[in-house]
Amino acid sequence: AQSVTQLDSHVSVSEGTPVLLRCNYSSSYSPSLFWYVQHPNKGLQLLLKYTSAATLVKGINGFEAEFKKSETSFHLTKPSAHMSDAAEYFCVVRGSQGNLIFGKGTKLSVKP
Amino acid sequence: NAGVMQNPRHLVRRRGQEARLRCSPMKGHSHVYWYRQLPEEGLKFMVYLQKENIIDESGMPKERFSAEFPKEGPSILRIQQVVRGDSAAYFCASSPSGQVSFNTGELFFGEGSRLTVL
C-alpha cells in the first residue's frame, strides 16, 4: 500500500531563510508524488508533481522537490521564504486505485 | 473560467439532522472526488464518482453517508443523522479524466464545506 509520512507537523522560519519540509513515502512500485499547499480557509493548490521523469522537480512560487529513491524521500525546499508562503503543505502519493493519499500536513510559519 | 464550486461554505447542524454538501466540478470535468479533513489531520479520501456512477467508495463510512453525481446537476454528499464526530471540512475535487491521470496527476479542489455539528 502507498503512504506518505510528513516528518514535521510545524516548521517555523524567518523571512528570507531557506525552507525545508520533509516527506518520506512508501510504495510498492514507482510512485507518483505531489506537494499541495492550502492557505487558510482555502482549497488546495498543486505546487509540483513527480511522475518518474526528472528527479528534481520545480514547482510554482520558487518551490522545488527532489525525489530520492534510495532514501524514499521527496522533501520540499525553497531557497528564501516569503511571508506569503505561510500555509499548510501536504505531501501526497497516488494510490493504487488512482486516488490521492495525503500526509497529515506541515504548517509553515514565516516570521518577519 | 470558474473553478470547483462548493456550497454551502459553512453549515451548522444539530445532532440527528441531515447535512447535504454540493459540489459543481470545473467545466469539462466529469470526475469528482470527495475528501474529509479532520482537525490536525490530512485529507482522507471518501469517494470517487463519475456521472451517475460510484467508482470507488472505499473511504466512505458504511452508515449514514452517501454520495451521488447525477447526470444533471452537482455532486452531493449526504450525511444523515449527523453526530459531533462528523464535524470537519469536506473538500470536493474534480479532474477531466478518471483515476488521476498518470501524466497530470492533478486534482482541482474547491474551497471546502465546513460542517459543524452542535
Q: Between chains, do A95 and B112 touch, taking CB under 8 Å as contact?
A: no
pLDDT in tens, A39-48: 987 888 999 9
Strand partners, B92: B34
Distance from CA of B86 to the nearest CA of A (A): 18
Backbone angles phi, psi at A99, to 5 degrees: -80, 175
- φ, ψ at A70 (rounded to 5°): -65, -25
**Which residues in chain A touch residue B2, judged by CB atoms under 8 angstroms apart?**
none
Residues of chain A with pLDDT under 70: 97
Q: How confident is the model at residue B104 (pLDDT cuts 50, 70, 90)?
A: low
Mean pLDDT of chain A: 92
User: Mutating which of A23, A34, A100, A107 best tests the B interface, going by the most B Cβ atoms within 10 A?
Assistant: A100
Quick check: A7 contacting B, CB < 8 Å?
A: no
B-chain residues near A51 (CB < 8 A): 102-103, 105
- Check residue A109 and report its DSSP letter: E
> Residue A62's pLDDT is what?
96
Residue with cell 500536513: A105
In this prediction, residue B102 carries a pLDDT of: 43
Q: Quick one: what percent of chain B has pLDDT higher than 90?
A: 67
Chain A's closest residue to B94, CA to CA, is: A99
**Residue-wise pLDDT tens digits, B19-62:** 999 999 998 888 899 999 987 778 899 999 988 899 889 899 99
What is the rounded distance in angstroms from the CA atom of residue B48 to the CA atom of residue B42? 18
**Residues in CB range of B100: below 8 A, 6 or more apart:** A94, A98, A99, A100, B106, B107
Assign B68 to helix, strand or coil: strand
Question: Which among A34, A97, A102 has the least Cβ separation from residue B56?
Answer: A97
Q: Which residue of A has its CA nearest to B112?
A: A43
Partners of B43 on chain A (C-beta within 8 Å) are 44, 90, 100, 102
As given in the structure block, the three cell numbers for residue A69 are 529513491
Angle at A67 between CA B111 and CA A96, to 5 degrees: 60
Distance from CA of A70 to the nearest CA of B (A): 22
